[in-house]
Amino acid sequence: MCYSASASFIAGAGLLTASACIFKYKKVNNNEKLVALLPALFAIQQVSEGLVWLGIDGILPHWFQLQATYIFGIFAIAIWPVYFSLSMFYFERSNSLKKILSVLLIVGTVVSLLGLIFIITFDADAYISCENLKCSPIIYNWQAKEIYFTKNFVSNILENDFFGFANTLLILLYDICVLLPFFITKNKFLRYCFAPVLLFSVPVSDLITRNVGGFPSVWCFCAAILSCLVIFAFAKKQNFQVNTV
């Protein structure tokens, strides 16, 4: 997680084990499989962050830490916007909702592709900042690769007002693609239990990291823990049904 390798590994192992049990002992319909896989995917992301921690602590070589950093970044930036929308698109059986979710899926795909381009064209790094005996969560830093951009070009872009607007817009679209599918579903558990706490995790993560940085690390950990609710829902499968109207 945000504050230790052990927390990330424990969360990853727990989510992966619970997810495997759901698929083994509960009947998961085809339209539910992508939603049911959420905890397992979050588990992989948490394990990757645990490896980043080991790299920062000097236990693993830097090149290994770098690969783990890219894996974490791919999940955070390029997978979640499209996956959340896609999973709910297949989950829902209502044609009216599918039309809305198809729009979100298109937007999520665009956001994810832009995120993937960002990952390809920028170098990744991860570190922690310690002040007054207090250490930050892992801070992920991205620097433009000179093979694609010159330093002057990047500086001019970052100082441009349009870049600030575009960045804010992308963050807003990211949040919409990740959160809105769960608020419009006809499944009551996802709509009234999972969606509100997932939304609440955003300002909580922002509050925790406002002065120290590391929002992606904290929010992804919170979302990973909250995905336990998906496991709980499948464990109580009789209450986890979708209306077809």
> Could you read off the pLDDT of 177-190 as tens digits, one per residue?
999 999 999 988 99
The whole-model pTM stands at 0.85
> 3-class SS at 126?
strand
Whole-angstrom distance, CA of residue 123 vs CA of residue 142: 5
Whole-angstrom distance, CA of residue 146 vs CA of residue 159: 18
pLDDT of residue 202: 92
Q: Which is nearest to 8 in space by CA: 72, 61, 66?
A: 72
pLDDT of residue 133: 45
Q: Which contacts (CB < 8 Å, 24+ apart) does range 129-134 have?
A: 129/212, 129/213, 134/212
**Segments of the chain scoring below 70 in pLDDT:** 1-3, 130-136, 144-164, 237-245
Task: Give the pLDDT confidence of 99-151 residue by residue, as tens digits.
Answer: 999 999 999 999 999 989 888 888 888 877 765 445 667 787 777 665 555 44
Residue 66 corresponds to which amino acid? L
| H/E segment holding residue 135 | strand 134-135
Dihedral (Cα; 110, 181, 101, 189), 10-degree rounding: 150
Angle at 170 between CA 80 and CA 173, to 5 degrees: 65
| Beta pairing class for 130-131 and 122-127 | unpaired
Distances (CA, A) of 182 to 140, 147, 212, 245: 28, 40, 30, 17
> 3-class SS at 113?
helix
